[in-house]
Amino acid sequence: MTTKVEKSILVNVPVSTAYNQWTQFEDFPQFMGGVQSVTQLDDQRLDWVAEIAGVKRRWEARILEQVPDRKVAWAATSGATNAGAVMFEDLGGGQTRVTLSMEYEPEGLIEKVGDALNIIEHQAEGDLGRFKAFIESERYASGAWRGSINEGMGIGTPTIADAGESVGDKGKAGLSGKAVAAGAAAAAAGVAAAAVAGEKQESTPESTTDTTRTAGEAEIVEVIDVVEAEPVVDLRETDPAAPGMPRAEDEDIHRPL
């Protein structure tokens, strides 16, 4: 199952400045959260290393279409399956609308949980916000590539179908500490949910359930066993030698003649 994300932002720089900066792919780690490196192999191929939902991934992408001041479209050819485009719209008055559209395929439990929590969507929105802050603070691009790739071919916005070469190729470069923690949290949440469901279906006198919920955390269920106390036996009734019991000698002394 694939997921689509589309986000846009207004940038207060001319369209050529915004576009030129976006063509500097190796600068992406400066404003893209989770992106550790982007290496430009040639005019059309990029090697990416990023941490997505706590999982470190590596993939290669090919630029399918690039039109100066208008568009950069790509699709993965290996590793993490994703495709999309970035569009630039000149609004005049030194303003540009930047729109990011992408489609990706989460793989594995950790990424699917992250997908359900809209982590990638929030990441994309944050990346555009950081790009805006980056280019507006500099007011000029750190470089530019004004060449065209497949201009006029009508490629549109690439989808997962255009990244077919990467389907099934997870491109994992290892689990990060965040992934381990996220996996433990997911497992704990599953155990807690099962415990709660079991309690609702069948309530037994041998145990009671104490639940504690903290904002932003999984529900923690603590089962407290109730141990039935042993009956208390008065030793004075069963042991004549127990403390406090009158001795036979004492009874003889006080027995009436």
Which among 52, 74, 48, 78 is positioned nearest to 63, based on CA atoms? Answer: 74
Does 211 reside within a domain?
A: yes
For residue 219, what are its two tokens?
A: 């529900």
| Number of domains into which the chain is organized | 2
Query: Are 94 and 208 found together in one domain?
Result: no
pLDDT at 218: 41
CATH number of the domain enclosing 162 = 3.30.530.20
pLDDT at 35: 94
Q: Which domain holds residue 168?
A: 3-175
Q: 242: which residues sit within 8 A by CB, 6+ positions away?
A: 235, 236
pLDDT at 211: 40
d(Cα 89, Cα 92) in Å, to the nearest integer? 9
Does 141 reside within a domain?
A: yes
Query: Are 59 and 107 found together in one domain?
Result: yes
Query: Are 90 and 204 found together in one domain?
Result: no
Does 234 reside within a domain?
A: no
Whole-prediction pTM value?
A: 0.64
Query: Are 15 and 38 found together in one domain?
Result: yes
- pLDDT by 10-residue block (mean), the chain, 257 residues: 91 98 97 94 96 83 97 94 96 98 77 63 93 95 95 88 72 45 41 45 45 41 43 49 49 45
**CA 84, 68, 61, 125 torsion-angle sign:** negative
Query: Are 49 and 162 found together in one domain?
Result: yes
d(Cα 187, Cα 113) in Å, to the nearest integer? 11
Query: Are 161 and 219 found together in one domain?
Result: no
Does 251 reside within a domain?
A: no
pLDDT at 154: 83
Does 10 reside within a domain?
A: yes
Query: Are 150 and 170 found together in one domain?
Result: yes
pLDDT at 226: 41
Query: Are 53 and 86 found together in one domain?
Result: yes
pLDDT at 94: 97
Query: Are 50 and 124 found together in one domain?
Result: yes
Does 88 reside within a domain?
A: yes
Domain boundary among 140, 156, 175: 175
Query: Are 91 and 169 found together in one domain?
Result: yes
Does 246 reside within a domain?
A: no
Does 137 reside within a domain?
A: yes
Strand segments, DSSP code E, in 93-201 are 95-104, 172-175
d(Cα 142, Cα 132) in Å, to the nearest integer? 14
Query: Are 119 and 203 found together in one domain?
Result: no
Query: Are 135 and 202 found together in one domain?
Result: no
